[in-house]
Amino acid sequence: MPDSLYLLQLLLNGLVLGLIYALIAAGLSLLFGVLEMINFAHGEFLMLGAYAMCFTLPLFGLSYLPSLALSVLLCGGIGLLLFEGFLSRVQRGEFERGILITMGLSMILLYGMQYAVSATPRMVDTQFGFSGVAIGDIQITWARIAAAGFALLAFGLLYWCLNATEFGRCMRAIAQSREAALMVGIQPKKVARNAVMLATALCGLAGACIAPVQLVQPQMGQFLVFKAFALVLIGGLGSIPGAITAAVLLGVVENFVGGFFSIVWQEAVGFIAMILVLILRPEGLFARGNVRVG
């Protein structure tokens, strides 16, 4: 019978991983709700956030917070360039065109970064090193604690933004009824630009948080973004709470499966869950509601 401390260790590590997954999935869900578009370059923004963390940490003496903040701002800024240069030319509903553009950008970012920094995986060190909190035989590093804390903070700010600010209310209005939003003077292009910047900033935060926890390499976004697509489908298209809930559950389940079975099953469990949900409940765990936050 497994030791209870081992099970608790798996649970804690799974929660941290799930919260990082949730940052990626929440951004994808937001983009689909506002633009009705799947961004296939989303994983590369996570990769850019991780490399930004990798390169800025030495500049700040391995200080975690300023490096993380700069990574988020950088990805949000690149998201602005992505929108102004490409996505602003894609009309709402032009699903295939959006897919082709973002897939092309994904390949450019992936192979461009591989050419610039090589495909060699990098370890990222921070001010925390490998120290952490020990409760008996249970250990969790400060890097994981910080990742979980900033993810929770981001979700709190996202909820506040979408519910209590004009910025967020405009996004929800466009997602629910574009025609009605136009009638009251909301500018769809401005709202779409804000949504893209917010989604890419969340992805940059995910990359910055995961950099001290896992190896950083150009392909890392490819590994994670397809899980995020599965999570958006499991949670329900356009439902941010659904995407977050599914992500946290997947992180926990993956960690338990990896703790007892082959890593092959650990990587497959999310897609098995996606297939089952699509068969049994095609609308997802939370029916689609267009940028629903509650």
Find, among 188, 181, 176, the residue nearest to 290 by Cα.
176
Q: Give residue 294's pLDDT band: very low, low, confident or very high (50, 70, 90).
A: very low
Residue at 254 is within a domain: no
Residue at 243 is within a domain: no
Q: Show the DSSP H helices in 165-262 as ranges.
A: 166-176, 178-183, 188-210, 220-235, 240-260
Domain with 17, as residue range(s), is 4-218
Residue at 239 is within a domain: no
Residue at 274 is within a domain: no
Least confidently predicted of 33-47, 171-185, 205-219, 259-273 = 171-185
* pLDDT for residue 78: 92
Beta-bridge mates of residue 139:
134
Residue at 75 is within a domain: yes
* pLDDT for residue 93: 61
Over residues 193-210, mean pLDDT: 92
Residue at 33 is within a domain: yes
Spacing of C-alpha 46 from chain mean position: 7
Residue at 233 is within a domain: no
* pLDDT for residue 1: 45
Domain count, the chain: 1
Residue 58 has what DSSP assignment?
Answer: G
